[in-house]
Structure 1
C-alpha cells in the first residue's frame, strides 16, 4: 500500500538513497567488502549520474579501492553530450580520466549492449571466481539507437579495449582508420558513411570500449620489453590492431581529448583526437556535439585533413567540405567558452 518500501530478499536488494551519492557509495563499499568482513560475497551495482561519481565522491572511491571493494560502478547518462539540457553540473566529460588513476579500477565506455554483457560477465568471473581485488566502472547512456548482434569471436578484444567493428571496402581509394567509444562511436559510424558517399574515402571502424585498458596494456608491454632486452618484444594490443592499418587514424569520444590521447605512444601513423574539452552546456545532443566538434561532420573533416597532410587528398576540397557541412572556421574553441 506504499509508494516506496524496503524489503530484504534472498535474491537481492535495491537501495534507493535519493540525492545522496556519498551514502550510496558507502552502501556499495559495505556490500562490496562483505566477502571479507562477513564472509558473504555480494555483487553490488551502484547506478548514478556519472558526473556525480568520481567528480563528487572520488575520495570514497579511492577508499573503496584501498579496501579491496568488489563490484560495479555504473555511471549513467554518461559523457559530455548525452544528457542534453542539464548543462555544466551534470555533463561528465572526464570521469574516465579520474578512473584511470585508480590502479584496481577496470573502466569501460561501451557503445552496444553486447559489449556491456561481455564486460559484466568478465567482471563477475574475475571478482567472484578468480577472487581478484578489482572493481569495474562502466559508463552507460540513455540514448535510444539500434544495437546490432555481436560479431563472432570478438569477446577478448572487447575486454582488451578495442576491436574491428567494420572494415571498409577493399579498393584503391584513400583510407582512414576511425576509432570511437560510447555514443560518439555512433557519430564515427555516420562519419564513415559521409566519407564514402561524399568524398570517395574508405574507412575501417574500430570500437574502443576502453582507451584506459589499452593504455595499461601498452604500458605493461613497454615495461616488460625494457626489463627483457634480449627477448622478443611484446606488442601492445593497439599496435597489433593498427600496426598494419592503412591511412591516418582519427579518434573521437564524449570525453576530453586526454582520454583517447592515452594510446598515442603505441601508434605510429598520424593520430588525431577529438574530444569534449570545456564546460558542459544545456542544449540538444546534436548541437552539443557540433559545439564540442565531435559530431560526424567534424570527424569527417579531421579525416580529410589528415589525408591531405599525407598528400592523399586535395587540401582545397577540405575547405569545400568545411563549407558544405556549415562549420564555422572562426568559432572560439569550446574550451575557451
Structure 2
C-alpha cells in the first residue's frame, strides 16, 4: 500500500520472568497501550490504588501489590503499560478532535477509558526517566505520581541503582502510602514508617532488579 511507516522494538538486557497471561486478556488494551494485568487480591473495603508499570518494572509492581496487601492492608490493581507513547498520542489526538469539532461530544482518551471506575491514586513506574510516564498525566482523572530513573553519575548494581533512583518495589509501596495518606485513607505516619521499615535511604538495602544480565 506504499505506506510510510516505521516499526521499532525496544529490548532490555535484563532477564525477567514474564507474568502469566491473565484471564480474559484484554488484547485491545495490549495494542492500544494499557491493560489490567492483576486485580487486587480480596479488595473488600481496603484503601485502593492503581499501579501502572512498563517493561522490567512490571515484576516490581506485582511485588509491590503483594507487599501493600500483606504489610499495609491496601488493595492495588496492577496495569501493564505496553506503550506510554501510544497512550500520549491517543490522548493528544482526542484533544485535537475536540478542539476542531466544537459542539460535538469529545472522545475520551483510551487510557482515561481504561481507568474509568478504577479507585484510588495512580502510581506510574518505569525504568526510564519520569518524563516518560508523565506523558499521560493530563489524561488521568485520579491523583497521580510517577517513579523513574532521573539523574546520572551513579554506577553500582541494578538493585542499588533502583533504590538510589527510588523506582524500586519498596519505593512503589512508599509512594502509594504517601498518596493515600494525603487523601486521609491511611495513617499520616505510614510513609515515614515505610521509609524506615524498608531502609529506603540505604542504596545497599535495595533488592529490586537482581535477575542477572549486568552490563
Q: 1:158: Cα distance to partner?
A: 1.1
Q: Is residue 2:32 matched to residue 1:160?
A: yes
Distance in 1, Cα, partners of 2:132 & 2:14: 21
Deviation readout 1:92-143 (Å, 9 max, x if unpaired): xxxxxxxxxxxxxxxxxxxxxxxxxxxxxxxxxxxxxx65322122212232
Report the CA distance shift for 1:289/1:323 in structure 2 as closer, same or farther (over 3 A).
same
Distance in 2, Cα, partners of 1:305 & 1:288: 22
Q: Is residue 2:102 matched to residue 1:219?
A: no
Asked if structure 1 preserves the Cα contact closer than 8 Å seen for 2:122 and 2:143, the reply is yes
* Aligned residue in 2 for 1:188: 61
Distance in 2, Cα, partners of 1:166 & 1:156: 16
Secondary structure class of the residue paired with 2:132: helix
Deviation readout 1:177-202 (Å, 9 max, x if unpaired): 00111101221111111101100000
* Aligned residue in 2 for 1:233: 106
Asked if structure 2 preserves the Cα contact closer than 8 Å seen for 1:221 and 1:235, the reply is yes
* Aligned residue in 2 for 1:296: 169
Distance in 2, Cα, partners of 1:167 & 1:132: 39
Distance in 2, Cα, partners of 1:135 & 1:284: 34
Of 297-306 and 182-191, more deviation after overlay is shown by: 182-191
Q: Is residue 2:16 matched to residue 1:145?
A: yes
Paired residues, what number?
A: 200
Between 1 and 2, higher relative CO (CA 8 Å, sep ≥ 6) is seen in 2
Structure 1 segments unaligned to the other structure (5+ residues): 1-129, 330-337
Q: Is residue 2:140 matched to residue 1:267?
A: yes
* Aligned residue in 2 for 1:199: 72
The normalised TM-score by structure 2 is 0.88
Superposition RMSD on alpha carbons, in Å?
1.6
Asked if structure 2 preserves the Cα contact closer than 8 Å seen for 1:243 and 1:267, the reply is no
Asked if structure 2 preserves the Cα contact closer than 8 Å seen for 1:264 and 1:271, the reply is yes
Asked if structure 1 preserves the Cα contact closer than 8 Å seen for 2:19 and 2:59, the reply is no
Secondary structure class of the residue paired with 1:178: strand
